[in-house]
Chains A and B, each alone.
Chain A
Amino acid sequence: MTTTQDSAVAVEMITVVIDGFEVSVPKGTLIIRAAEKLGIQIPRFCDHPLLDPVGACRQCLVDVEINGRAFPKPQASCTIPVEPNMIVKTQLTSPVADKAQKGVMELLLGNHPLDCPVCDKGGECPLQNQAMSNGRADARLDGYKRTFEKPINISSSVLLDRERCVLCARCTRFSAQIASDPFITLNERGALQQVGIYENDPFKSYFSGNTVQICPVGALTGASYRFRARPFDLVSTPSACEHCASGCDMRTDVRRGKTLRRLAGDDPSVNEEWNCDKGRWAFKYVTALDRLTHPLVRNSSGELVQASWPEALAAAAAGLKGKRAAVLTGGRVTTEDAYGYSKFARIALATNDIDYRARVTSDEERDFLAAYVAGSSTTYRDIDTADHVALIAFEPEEESPIVFLRLNKNFKKRGLKVSAVATKGSIAMDKLKADFIKVAPGAEASAVAGLALTAKSVILVGERASESAGLFSAVAALAAKTGAKIAYIPRRAGERGALEAGALGTVLPGGRPVVDAAARVDIAAAWGVDSLPATPGRTSSQIIDALASGDLDAVVVGGVDAHDLPHSHAVLDALKKSFVVSLEIAPSSVTAVADVVLPVAAITEKSGSFLNWEGRARAFDSAVADSHNRSDVRILSMLADALGNPISLGTVTSSAREFNQLGSWDGARVQFAPVAAGTAKSVSGNDALLSSWRRLLDMGTLQKGEDNLAGTRRPTVAVISTKRAESIGVTTGQQVRVSNAHGSITIPVLVEDIHEDAVWIPRNSFASQALVALDAVHGDVVTVVKA
């Protein structure tokens, strides 16, 4: 579609007459969309505003006349752009067009099974609706309809019923044009034409769910939603995705208090009309996990027992009162909850020891976040206008799928140049034809300096940059030198919001530096307290060390799994020594060492918002109305009351209001002290440098309970270079053992484009949980041998 956002480019307008009404639309607009502008609905199946026109279904036939010369036959209005002096007559004014549309509908229904009663689309089906509005009242064809075997699985999550397909090619066009996963095509010809998969390439696309959503009939259906409900059973709530920082707009459909499906919402500036399969299908964890229903308190004999809320809050307050305590919040909290944790730490615990980063982190990252990310506003639109995008420690398809779709759109539409500084090539890099700058793990920083960017470029840097010393500094230097925009893209949905809410040791809400006295006074005044702690807080790893050494006594943990942190055994030992208050939806590794466990609401049960990587608020309402669970901020508020230092954030709304009123800081930001570029360790023989990241679909807690989705995970493999494969004598598919002093992982090998010194394994996939099994991070030395 033509955009009118760039006012500098004058858009040529064309006036056409449709059904006797004049309408002016930008040049290039299709007739079907010009008609929409007038409120005239032309029936259609294959037409989709975000896909290239094909004219496959012929349902949108209209009469067209240009300069007084009429086309001899009705034309497909979804393929013809408007032209000056064009007169269009739709089914409303032209009996010929109306008859043509009815004829097409009759032919489409000729082979359609009419099994609406058993079809999941029934009740919200464009074919049902348009057969009623633009079809004949009775059928003239009799005889047999062609039949196919009823649904076949084209992946574990998507079912195809070929009898119902109207051959609109929306699914195949989406897969080829938007996701660049052309694993489905239209095979055969004539009545036997059908959507098919390739024998050797299953439909393993991270975006396959979108085909289910855009299929105009019930030919493609989701395995998880099969026969679960009719549209009139569902209560739909606009919501936001909690799975990653892309920030997809979503719709959650609930029947009788149970979430049955989620659909991609329509937000042109973020996810357009798409989302990824994780966001669409990974919602069963809310009910599949063994949810905590009551507060638990550890009794004198060391067992966790059920307690009432007043008892549990009193026990938590008693354990925290007067102690040196810190706060660890996971990256999944909503902005409102993060603000609650931030205020709780400063007022109730009188400390700046708070960190939301439950993962591998560095001090360099913390300073980079405070200096360059808090309050920044690089957006998807900047990707649309960029001349060059550099991917640094960031694998878009796995770590922020909608960013990948946006990059891919720009690559396909205008050949956007993409460069990636990475150890290993990836499917996304292939799709984007990215310039692959191959570096050894640990040596990324020096490679970044050489990137030829301009002031119109965008640097997308991922959270994994914290695993390579000097990488954030190199990014900052590159941006300063070239004027390119920086976009920091964390993996988890709550991280950006937690940063802005000040859930970090060196910043207060709105990016105000802790060390800045004026900033502290600003916040202290807003919070109605005399002063705020002035010492910058510890980072998550420092907090763990301090708990272990006895410099801290207690910790409030909100939704952190110890296995996401490096050296998880040491983390759990440190927590065991301390007084731990855990806010969780379900028992986790922390529950076992917690002294007080407070159950909180899962995402569908509460309202709130996330800030996506752009810093754009993604608000959502509770989808399940009658839950008894409360958001973290409410519980923290009660706990602060019990401690005698109220934070007065009784509701999510009050937290949001207070946080928004604070606004962002217009004074000086935290000073960023560059760190020297790191180098890769040298390795020889069977030793290799570890590189790893999390896949989109893996063993993540929030994907529990959804087996169909798990079936489309990418295979667990260890990736090594051709040279290494030769030297250890393996070929793709054979087993290798990746090991170090802590443990080993044995998985099949894939020989691919990767730095010769490196081995790549998925960080949290089935049989390959690198952090837990090897206790090793990016750049550590491991041994790779044939198993």
Chain B
Amino acid sequence: MTDFNESANIEKKISGQADINSVPFTEVEQPGPASLAQQAKGFWVTFSTMFKKNQTVQYPDVKAPTAPRFHGRHQLNRHPDGLEKCIGCELCAWACPADAIFVEGGNNTPENQLSPGERHGAVYQINYLRCIFCGLCVEACPTRALTMTNEYELADDKREKLIFEKEDLLAPLRQGMLAPPHPMYPGMTDTNYYNGDVKEAHPSQSESGQGVN
């Protein structure tokens, strides 16, 4: 650690090396005032802009669409029957150059089946104060669980609020989906899920056995 005396010493050393009076001074030739024609050319740019289309967007009243592949907030996707795709493998966390992702795996049990197969993501957090939206995590994900949406409104007044939990990141339940935990589709293995053989939830997967209501 540098204490105050030491830093003073350092300053002395530096200023000793670069004495302001010993810096060589070279006079630079200044251009004289520009001609009227040259000035008119410059102002023409300003003037012509008045007749161009206005680029200002009245955000937040008006929201312009992003480019289709814009890197926005992440989303944790679901299989067509509602089971989570994330298996808690931590490969996204491993790939992340900003160390923005925290994952803890969990064991699927018959009572608590959140994803197909043995393993699910028990804790999943992305810290948007760290994320640089590079998308390397999406590339790393072996199950296509993690993708990015176009959502860019990621500002808040507390640091904690910018650490998104699994519930914040999970995709909404769509038509034909059942909220996990629930058993896997009857007769299907995790391989079938990955091959896309499961198209929607089966009635027997719901608690009532009645299917999606």
Interface string of A227-238 (1 = CB under 8 A from B): 111101100000
A118-B118, A150-B118, A151-B118 known; A228+B104 contact, CB < 8 A:
yes
Assuming the contacts A117-B89, A117-B142, A117-B143, asked whether A227 and B94 have C-beta atoms less than 8 A apart, the reply is no
Taking a contact as CB atoms under 8 Å apart, the answer to whether B87 and A230 are in contact is no
At the interface, yes or no: A226 with Cβ under 8 Å from chain B? Answer: yes
A residues near B119, Cβ cutoff 8 Å: 118, 227
**Is A122 engaged at the interface, CB distance under 8 Å to the other chain?**
yes
Min distance, Cβ A222 to any Cβ of chain B, angstroms: 13
B109-132 contacts to A (CB < 8 Å): 117-119, 122
A residues within 8 A CB of B176?
none
The yes or no answer to B91 lying at the interface (CB within 8 A) is: yes
Within 8 A of A (CB), among B71-119: 87-91, 93-94, 104-107, 117-119
With a CB–CB cut-off of 8 A, which chain B residues contact A233? 90
B104 touches A118 (CB 8 A): no
Structural contact, B107 and A230, CB atoms closer than 8 A: no
Q: How far, in whole Å, are A228 and B107 apart by their CA atoms in the complex?
A: 9
Which of A118, A123, A228: most chain B Cβ within 10 A? A118
Closest residue on chain B to residue A255 by CB atoms: B104
Contact surface of B with A, Cβ cutoff 8 Å: 87-91, 93-94, 104-107, 117-119, 122, 142-143
Q: Determine the residue in chain A with the shortest Cβ distance to B117.
A: A118
Total residues of chain A contacting the partner, CB 8 A: 13
Asked if residues B107 and A226 are in contact (CB atoms below 8 Å), the reply is yes
Distance of A232 Cα from B102 Cα, bound (Å)? 12
A228 lies within 8 A of B90 (CB): no
- A-B pairs, 9 with minimum CB distance: A227-B105, A117-B89, A118-B119, A117-B142, A230-B90, A227-B119, A118-B87, A227-B107, A226-B107
Interface string of A121-152 (1 = CB under 8 A from B): 01100000000000000000000000000110
Interface CB pairs A-B, < 8 A, 5? A118-B89, A122-B89, A150-B117, A227-B105, A230-B93
Shortest Cβ distance from A117 into B: residue? B89
Q: Tell me the complex Cα distance, A123–B106, Å.
A: 17
Report B-chain residues with C-beta under 8 Å of the C-beta of A150: 117-118
The distance in angstroms between the C-alpha atoms of A228 and B104, with both chains bound, is 6
Whole-angstrom CA separation of A233 from B89 in the bound complex: 12
Q: In the docked arrangement, what's the CA distance between A150 and B118, Å?
A: 8
Q: Could you tell me the distance between the alpha carbons of A230 and B87 in the complex, rounded to whole angstroms?
A: 13
Chain B residue contacts of A232, Cβ below 8 A: 94
CB distance from B92 to the nearest CB of A (A): 10
A 207-255 contacts with B by CB, 8 A: 226-230, 232-233
Q: How far is the CB of B131 from chain A (nearest CB, A)?
A: 18
Residues of B within 8 A of A123 (CB): 94
B105 / chain A contacts, CB cutoff of 8 Å: 227-228
Q: Which residues of A contact B90 (CB under 8 A)?
A: 230, 233
B104 touches A229 (CB 8 A): yes
User: Which residues, 101 to 120 on A, are CB-close (under 8 Å) to B?
Assistant: 117-118
Which residues of A lie under 8 Å from residue B107 when comparing CB positions?
Answer: 226-227
Across the interface, which residues of B come within 8 angstroms of A228, CB to CB? 104-105
Q: How far is the CB of B213 from chain A (nearest CB, A)?
A: 32
**Can you add 16 more A-B contacts, CB < 8 Å, to A118-B89, A227-B106?**
A117-B89, A117-B91, A118-B118, A122-B89, A150-B118, A151-B118, A227-B104, A227-B105, A227-B107, A227-B118, A227-B122, A229-B104, A230-B90, A230-B93, A230-B94, A233-B90
CA distance A229 to B105 in the complex (A): 7
Among residues of B, the one whose C-beta sits closest to the C-beta of A123 is B94
Residues on A with beta carbons closer than 8 Å to the beta carbon of B117: 118, 150
Q: From A117, A122, A229, A230, name the one whose CB has the most chain B CB atoms within 10 angstroms.
A: A117
Cβ contacts under 8 Å, B91 to chain A:
117
Contact: A117 with B87, CB < 8 Å? yes
Q: How far is the CB of A77 from chain B (nearest CB, A)?
A: 33
List of B residues within 8 angstroms of A122 by Cβ: 89
Cα–Cα, bound, A137→B89 (Å): 23
User: Once the chains are docked, how many angstroms separate the CA of A122 from the CA of B106?
Assistant: 15
